[in-house]
Amino acid sequence: MMTSQLFSPYKLGALELSNRIVIAPMCQYSAEDGKATDWHTIHLGHLALSGAALLFIEATAVEPEGRISPLDVGLWSDETEAALGKVLDAIRKHSDMPIGIQLAHAGRKASVAAPWQGGGQLGLDQGGWQTLAPSPIAFGSHPRAPLALDLAGIARIRENFAASAKRAARLGLNAIELHAAHGYLLHQFLSPLSNRREDQYGGSLENRMRLPLEIFDAVREAVPASIPVGFRVSGSDWVAGGWDIEQTVAFAEALEARGGDFIHISGGGLSSEQQVPLGPNYQVPFARAVKQATGLPTIAVGLITEPDQAEAIIGTGDADLVALARGMLYDPRWPWHAAAQLGASVKPPSQYLRSQPRQFGKLFG
């Protein structure tokens, strides 16, 4: 039997990974004033026993106004840092899986209710707040437009990303992903649909990329070289005239030139007018295009649900790593099952060793 490429080791910057399976960030809307709770211990704890190589904590706001909802996790204060540290301490007692964090600012998509509460924009009398964006253009049907950030506001947000990164490093987190996808603030700066500025942060592609790249530089300087720093981006807005794969490749090239460690390529989220061609692997071509154009390690996503499917993505060189999100929630032992199917092995907790089916004699390595 050929050796599985999906279960081959990989080095992400200085971080050694046991295989090519990443658990993507997934919002839980279960924090209290930005502080992680017992739910996060349960949620992240069981994923940390999954056999994946790397687990990313959900989009974590760098300031209160950067939360998607009032229930989002943050990392902007000693209190939010301590709460997340408590969660991490509990997980690390039972798992040595590397854990990364996605640092984020929701921009004009902030101040909304949790999905199971309707997801609509919250009024200022409902616990909502004034949102911020590159330009005063509302998202979709939101009744309240964002305020356009001035240069002082841009500088504050850049500094807050760096400050949150320092807190992440103090917590011993193993990787930092900067969120520039799914229509949130850094994506809003990148896309010509949401960025209509006429200063150095708008207009040309170079100007629209300026703030995300400045934030990368600030974060890279703020944390040790042993912590890989990269981006999650949307490969396309799926809207004519918006952000597209050609601009994504240009961004990846600029990131690589600055010493970026990886790029995690998703899609959409910026416009309610998007037309997304859903289907298995539908976003993998974005990763392939970036990987072919650069030497930047790429993480692919997009309805990757089957072990053979993930194996083919790695084996054909479309991406260096694959990320699962909802599929991992549905099957938290997906890497175990993939290893069994592909003739590979995973490292389980000792308490679960006796669960190994007899027909998979080398599954638990």
Question: Is position 345 within any domain?
Answer: yes
Among candidates 352, 190, 327, which has minimal Cα distance to 270? 190
pLDDT tens per residue, range 31-46: 999 999 999 999 999 9
What CATH number corresponds to the domain at position 209?
3.20.20.70
352 is catalytic: no
pLDDT at 1 over 70: no
Give the CA distances from residue 65 to residues 146, 162, 203, 204, in Å, rounded to whole numbers and listed in that order. Answer: 11, 16, 25, 27
Question: Is position 351 within any domain?
Answer: yes
Q: Calculate mean pLDDT across residues 83-99.
A: 98
pLDDT tens per residue, range 175-202: 999 999 999 999 999 999 999 999 999 9
Q: What total number of domains does the chain contain?
A: 1
Read off the pLDDT band of 251 (50, 70, 90): very high
Q: Calculate mean pLDDT across residues 300-315.
A: 96
Read off the pLDDT band of 362 (50, 70, 90): confident
Question: Is position 365 within any domain?
Answer: no
Q: Calculate mean pLDDT across residues 224-253.
A: 97
Read off the pLDDT band of 124 (50, 70, 90): very high
Question: Is position 360 within any domain?
Answer: no
pLDDT tens per residue, range 310-335: 999 999 999 999 999 999 999 999 99
pLDDT tens per residue, range 57-78: 999 999 999 999 999 999 999 9
Give the separation between CA 67 and CA 341, rounded to whole angstroms.
40
Among candidates 21, 60, 61, 42, which has minimal Cα distance to 325? 21
pLDDT at 365 over 80: no
Phi, psi at 181, each rounded to 5°:
-125, 180
In the predicted model, what is the mean pLDDT of the chain? 96
Question: Is position 2 within any domain?
Answer: no
How long a stretch of residues is the chain?
365
**Angle at CA of residue 29, ends 56 and 21, nearest 5°:** 20
Read off the pLDDT band of 255 (50, 70, 90): very high
Question: Is position 34 within any domain?
Answer: yes
* Catalytic residue from among 184, 201, 330, 352: 184
Read off the pLDDT band of 218 (50, 70, 90): very high
Query: Token digits for 240?
Result: 């004519």
Question: Is position 218 within any domain?
Answer: yes
pLDDT the model gives residue 361: 74
Please give the residue range of the domain that contains residue 238.
10-355
Question: Is position 4 within any domain?
Answer: no
pLDDT the model gives residue 220: 98
Read off the pLDDT band of 84 (50, 70, 90): very high
